[in-house]
């Protein structure tokens, strides 16, 4: 078990964020949980983290609102000081994001801005804001999507935003490597969460269709993504940076 490490997981009030927080907690990592408005969900995640034996706290963060980052970092810095032993953030998981889906003719300018302002602009400037709090040798993991490798109808804007996240990850790995900071992206495939209205979780026909196109014969479970992220953040992969790890069960090979 890894002791005295601290992680920030954005959008950890549900889904992949919650699974990631719990996977990190199981490895002895204390977790700061963020949410955009679902305080109840975030507190439930924090409760489960504490039940797993790690410390946890909840902060509100809307990554589409870059102007709020200065106050957020001040709050986070004060929290880390209050926690005592934390020398800074050891792990940052940029999980929070949005998906707006539709064919070319249906996508509006507001749709485009919503996706890119959150998934790309927000992720980039949050990392920039967090740099002073990052511990030597920290690990940043940006959540992408298997859709950057394969195509699916009505996903052009979302897929493009995640491809941008992967490009940012590679470049920032070079920039931050002098401090021993690793930057990687992780690309989940179809997973049974409430993302996109819970389609992958609740639509049996969709699940079956995807299962037939997946080497391992099913859609993923959120715990499997959380475990992969926690593993990528661990010292076991301390020599991996600027990498894209797809965790999709071999979808659309």
pLDDT digits (tens, 9 = 90+) for 130-157: 999 999 999 999 999 999 999 999 999 9
Q: 99: closest CA among 4, 188, 171, 197?
A: 197
Instruction: Say what angle helices 156-176 and 123-130 make with each other, to 10 degrees.
Output: 20
Question: Are residues 16 and 25 in contact, defined by beta-carbon separation less than 8 angstroms?
Answer: no
Going 36 to 225 to 90 to 4, the CA torsion angle's sign is positive
User: Of 36-45, 78-87, 135-144, 150-159, which gets the smallest average pLDDT?
Assistant: 78-87
In this prediction, residue 201 carries a pLDDT of: 63
Q: Does the pLDDT value for residue 179 go beyond 70? A: yes
Domains of the chain, residue spans: 5-247
Q: Which tokens hold the place of 244?
A: 């894209």
Q: Indicate the SS3 state at residue 192.
A: coil
Residue with the bigger pLDDT between 203 and 164: it is 164
Using alpha carbons, list the distances in angstroms from residue 96 to 92, 115, 146, 182: 11, 11, 16, 19
DSSP-assigned letters across all residues of 21-73? HHHHHHTTEEEEEEESS-HHHHHHHHHHHHHTT--EEEEE--TT-GGGHHHHH
Active site residue ranges: 158
Mean pLDDT, range 61-70, rounded to an integer: 98
Q: 229: closest CA among 188, 176, 197, 180?
A: 188
**CATH pick for 5-247 out of 3.30.420.10, 1.10.340.30, 1.20.58.760, 3.40.50.720:** 3.40.50.720
Q: What is the DSSP letter of 191?
A: B
Distance CA 207, CA 213 (A): 10
In this prediction, residue 13 carries a pLDDT of: 97
In this prediction, residue 195 carries a pLDDT of: 61
- pTM across the whole model: 0.95
User: Of 66-75, 158-167, 204-213, which gets the smallest average pLDDT?
Assistant: 204-213
Q: Please, which residues bridge with residue 186 across strands?
A: 143, 245
In this prediction, residue 17 carries a pLDDT of: 97
Per-chain mean pLDDT for the chain? 94
């Amino acid at each position: 078990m890894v002791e005295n490490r601290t992680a920030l997981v954005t959008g950890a009030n549900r889904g992949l964020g919650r699974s990631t927080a719990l996977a990190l907690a199981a490895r002895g990592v204390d977790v700061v949980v963020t949410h955009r408005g679902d305080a109840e969900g975030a507190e439930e995640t924090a409760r489960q983290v504490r039940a797993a034996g790690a410390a946890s706290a909840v902060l509100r963060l809307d990554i589409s609102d870059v102007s709020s980052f200065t106050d957020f970092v001040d709050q986070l810095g004060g929290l880390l000081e209050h926690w005592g032993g934390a020398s800074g953030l050891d792990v940052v998981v940029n999980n929070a994001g949005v998906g707006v889906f539709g064919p070319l003719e249906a996508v509006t300018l507001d749709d485009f801005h919503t996706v890119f302002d959150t998934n790309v602009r927000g992720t980039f400037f949050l990392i920039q804001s967090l740099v002073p709090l990052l511990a030597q040798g920290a690990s940043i993991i940006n959540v992408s999507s298997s859709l950057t490798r394969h195509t699916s109808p009505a996903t052009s804007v979302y897929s493009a935003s995640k491809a941008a996240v992967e490009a940012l990850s590679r470049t920032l790995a070079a920039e931050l490597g002098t401090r021993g900071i690793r930057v990687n992206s992780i690309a989940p495939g179809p997973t049974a969460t409430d993302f996109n209205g819970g389609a992958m979780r609740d639509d049996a026909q969709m699940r079956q269709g995807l299962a037939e196109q997946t080497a391992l014969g099913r859609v993923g479970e959120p715990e499997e993504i959380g475990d992969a992220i926690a593993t990528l953040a661990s010292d076991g992969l301390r020599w991996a940076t600027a990498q894209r790890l797809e965790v999709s069960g071999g979808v659309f090979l």
